[in-house]
Structure 1
Amino acid sequence: MATLYVGNSFNETLVGDLSQLDPQTRRIGGNLSCRLVWLMEPGDLLVSPQPISDEFLAYASWLKGTPVTSADVIVPPPGEAGGDVLMADRLRGARFVDELRATVAERGLDRIVPYCYDQIIASLARDVGIGSREASVAFCEAGGADLLNRKTVFRALCGGAGVPIAEGLVTRSVSDAVDFVASFIEAGRSVIVKQDALECGHGNEILTPSVDTVQLGAAVLTVVADRHAVEKRLGEQWPRFSSNGRDPVVIEHYLQDAISLGCEVDLTGESAVMRHTAEMRMTPVFGGLLIPPSSISKECDTEFSRYALELADVVHAMGYRGLINIDGLAADDGKTVVLNEFNGRLGGSTHLHWIGRTLVGDDYLLRRHLISKNDLKANSFTSAVAALKRAGLAFDPERGEGVILTCDHTAQSGAVEYCAVGADVAAADDYERRLNLLLTSR
């Protein structure tokens, strides 16, 4: 079985209004398709929004033990939004579709794995000859992926499944939102306002009565002292929160000092299977992972996993087959666990799971700890690889430890992503500490 991968990590389904994101965020978001290189086998093909550097392809090929070259990556012509991300117009261009159809036939590709299996991907699959009559594909063709990347749908399904979520409100009414938020502010509590369709915390804003509130999980924090300030801020920002009136807005109690959790669940089979749980590093939006979590108890992790699987069972019953990422929060020193978001797509840990299983072993969660970060500054990918080797930090396949550079953003933002792999939390922490010292001393 040979696979067509599609790096549609930022698109209409996952982002909504692309104009709300600054150019660099769009460039980095589109370039997340670089992570899919880790999943590729000989003969596979990747449709990427941007070219992937030969240096990264050579590095990943060496660690994987299987070659992936620029001939295995195809980049469609730029679209109306430019060449940063894979929007619909880039994937529907007649000339591109004809060329892709020919390549699919030549390589014998018979499976498609996109970052997000939305209606655009379903149409592309049919157009290039990788169509399917499976019920799960029909679910996606009918817009199912859009449902599974909406915070409003998430809250509704959690309510039906009986799994805990933060106290909140879903509304299209500014006045209802003002009443709800003002009641929290007047009680000395904070809220987080979320856009329905925007990932990684970019569309979130914390409204708080205190200047001491720590900003996590939101791109913006605003201090509002009273109802008048709440009314003013919501009135000003409602077009942004609601994507110009297109979507309802989600408002939730902001759980101060909570630990952000995530997990990836496999729904491809007859039942939901937990791949791994993780602790998310928020800086203040998503910036990396700790796999498995290291700041919560086993009991807390078990409770989070149970809630996530209960929700995943509901999604499975709806007809979705694929990976789903489910996030949560552990508050009150782990005494309170709630779920707070889901995304029916590949996620920020999909490639890390591949790295763990393939480079360490199927039991990597029992024998290793992984620490990732998404924005390590580097002059070039080649110089970063060389620096790791000189410092003795580079991943050693024989020992199954060290630092792996997992994505090359040097052309987009002068940074790389990395994953430190250690025999325990202390060892992984030490690799990361030495890595940061290495770069700051240069």
Structure 2
Amino acid sequence: MPRILIMNAGTPQMSGAHLTKAQLSLAANSAFRSAWFAQEGDLIVSPVVIPADLLSFIGGTLNFHSSALRLLVPASRQSTILDDCTLLSKTVVERLKRHIRQKSDWQLYPCYSTEGVARLAAILGIPKTGDDFALQRGPDLLNRKSHFRQLATSVALPLPHGSVATDPNGLFKAVTSLKSETGTVIVKLDNGAGGVGNVILTSNKSDPLPGARDTRWVSWPSFDPEALWSEMTTASCKTLVVESYHLARSLFYLEYTIQDDASIAFVNSGSIRLRKSADRSERALIRTGLELPSDLEEEQLLAAQAHAYRFVALARDLGYRGMINIDAIFAQDGRLLFNEANGRWGGGSVLHNIAVRLLGVDYFGCNVILSVRNVRSASFRAAHDRLVKDGLIFDHTRKEGVIPLAADEKAGTVECVVIAPNRPAAHDQQHRLLKS
């Protein structure tokens, strides 16, 4: 059944009404990356034009004819966000209607199930279980950090101690009560995606820590809640979450799909990999990529899955259908702590999709999938040619090698996917990619 892929990452529901330049750039790059979900006959609705050579390479790699894909990019776009207003515009709706008349059965496959997506489904006559929940903006419950704490508490997920602040006084009380546990707290913007809305406050001199855009040394007596409140909150988001911060031994995520028939399927789990910047003034760690499967011990993975399943079951019972991922850590003291959930495509969703289509559904047992961000390259074509020249390009016979995923030509980098039979081989490929 052909699908309408809706590349609506970075919507106001996910990241707030006022996005930074970095967030806008990430949303555009997400569209290139998400093109790897495409299958023959699909229609892609994207906020940006996806290069023809990328679509051709995707088709060649995943064994389908990219000429059978169709791309719809709303005209006169002033930003790189496919919001509900644009999605429901007369021009977009009419173009979609003309296209879907060619075939009888279609599915909508959005990154984020917004109210606008549900309304579009009704207009196009493509009903989907979960649309009623989306019409009431239900998925927003699964993409807010404050709601996550509330829902996770109801199913007894292990969480860091914390509270929700809705004004500077509440922020001061939360920080004051939590700072003594570890000497470090994390303050999170309710709807900030990718850690860009988080600030870590610590009484210990520290290098940048995972999970935030900034790690700051503070003298608690001089802590100014008014200043931090003014800096972090936005016109569209006046809620902060404050938690005690725990150093992590393992950072990972778990991803599930809630099917239309209400069944829950475990999709994948991956480790989140970070590194320090070469720039000593940088106050955030650089996310280098994901590693599937996660490097958790079997007992740890089973424990995390048992807890996470309860949260996913709650999301199902509320009415949500679609993909959902949950971030967690094993702290240095061995405790399992959950951080947040996202009811949408996750960072590992594309990697899992590629692995299944190239290796089969049981790839976890005999392969390691590694995403490598920020590989220096002037363009997607240049990256591809280098991989061919160096003998690194994915080999369909051996079922291993490197696949260029998407380019950020403004930054001069490409994200690549390494497919290897084990972790040492995957890490060796990564080293070869980054050495030049």
Q: Settle same-fold status: TM greater than 0.5.
A: yes
Structure 1: distance between partners of 2:166 and 2:245: 20
- More displaced, 364-373 or 270-279? 270-279
Q: How does 1:157-172 map to 2 (within 5 A)?
A: 157-172=151-166
Aligned to 2:278: none
Q: Does 1:131 align with 2:126?
A: yes
Aligned to 2:290: 289
Q: How does 1:317-336 map to 2 (within 5 A)?
A: 317-332=317-332, 335-336=334-335
Q: How does 1:248-287 map to 2 (within 5 A)?
A: 248-268=239-259, 269-283=261-275, 284=285, 286-287=287-288
Contact kept? 1:201, 1:286, Cα under 8 Å? no
Aligned to 1:100: 96
Structure 2: distance between partners of 1:137 and 1:245: 25
Cα deviation 1:51-78 (Å, max 9, x = unaligned): 1112211211110111224961111124
The alpha carbon displacement at 1:130 in A equals 3.5
Aligned residues: 426
The alpha carbon displacement at 1:240 in A equals 4.5
Aligned to 2:148: 154
Structure 2: distance between partners of 1:108 and 1:211: 62
* Aligned alpha-carbon RMSD (Å): 1.9
The alpha carbon displacement at 1:162 in A equals 0.8
Aligned to 1:60: 58
Give, as a single letter, the amino acid of the residue that structure 2 aligns with 1:6: I
Cα deviation 1:246-287 (Å, max 9, x = unaligned): 432101111124422101101114332211111112352654
The alpha carbon displacement at 1:135 in A equals 4.6
Q: Secondary structure at the match of 1:389?
A: helix
Structure 1: distance between partners of 2:265 and 2:133: 20
Give, as a single letter, the amino acid of the residue that structure 2 aligns with 1:276: N
Q: Secondary structure at the match of 1:179?
A: helix
Q: Secondary structure at the match of 2:143?
A: coil
Q: How does 1:3-402 map to 2 (within 5 A)?
A: 3-19=3-19, 21=20, 23-69=21-67, 72-79=70-77, 82-108=78-104, 110-127=106-123, 129-132=124-127, 134-185=128-179, 189-228=183-222, 230=223, 232=224, 234-244=225-235, 246-268=237-259, 269-283=261-275, 284=285, 286-294=287-295, 296-332=296-332, 335-402=334-401
Segments of 5+ residues of structure 2 without an aligned counterpart are 276-284
Contact kept? 1:78, 1:90, Cα under 8 Å? no
Structure 2: distance between partners of 1:89 and 1:70: 28
Structure 2: distance between partners of 1:347 and 1:187: 31
Aligned CA distance change for structure 1 residues 199 and 402 (closer, same or farther; 3 Å): same
The alpha carbon displacement at 1:325 in A equals 0.8
Q: Structure 1-normalised TM-score?
A: 0.91
Cα deviation 1:358-384 (Å, max 9, x = unaligned): 101111000101111332221111110
Give, as a single letter, the amino acid of the residue that structure 1 aligns with 2:274: M
The alpha carbon displacement at 1:108 in A equals 4.1
Once the two structures are aligned, what percentage of the paired residues are identical?
A: 26
Contact kept? 2:206, 2:217, Cα under 8 Å? no
Q: Secondary structure at the match of 2:176?
A: helix
Aligned CA distance change for structure 1 residues 135 and 357 (closer, same or farther; 3 Å): closer
The alpha carbon displacement at 1:43 in A equals 1.3
Runs of 4+ in structure 1 off by over 4 angstroms are none
Structure 2: distance between partners of 1:169 and 1:393: 48
Contact kept? 1:110, 1:130, Cα under 8 Å? no
The alpha carbon displacement at 1:91 in A equals 1.7
Structure 1: distance between partners of 2:142 and 2:416: 28
Aligned CA distance change for structure 1 residues 154 and 285 (closer, same or farther; 3 Å): farther
Aligned CA distance change for structure 1 residues 63 and 187 (closer, same or farther; 3 Å): closer
Give, as a single letter, the amino acid of the residue that structure 2 aligns with 1:92: L
Structure 2: distance between partners of 1:73 and 1:207: 45
Q: Secondary structure at the match of 2:40?
A: coil
Segments of 5+ residues of structure 1 without an aligned counterpart are none
Q: Secondary structure at the match of 1:77?
A: coil
Aligned CA distance change for structure 1 residues 223 and 363 (closer, same or farther; 3 Å): same
Cα deviation 1:2-49 (Å, max 9, x = unaligned): 100000011011011333x1x243123233122332222221100011
Q: Secondary structure at the match of 2:131?
A: helix
Aligned CA distance change for structure 1 residues 188 and 254 (closer, same or farther; 3 Å): closer
Contact kept? 1:201, 1:285, Cα under 8 Å? no
Structure 1: distance between partners of 2:413 and 2:103: 34
Aligned CA distance change for structure 1 residues 200 and 177 (closer, same or farther; 3 Å): same
Structure 2: distance between partners of 1:13 and 1:338: 25
Contact kept? 1:191, 1:253, Cα under 8 Å? yes
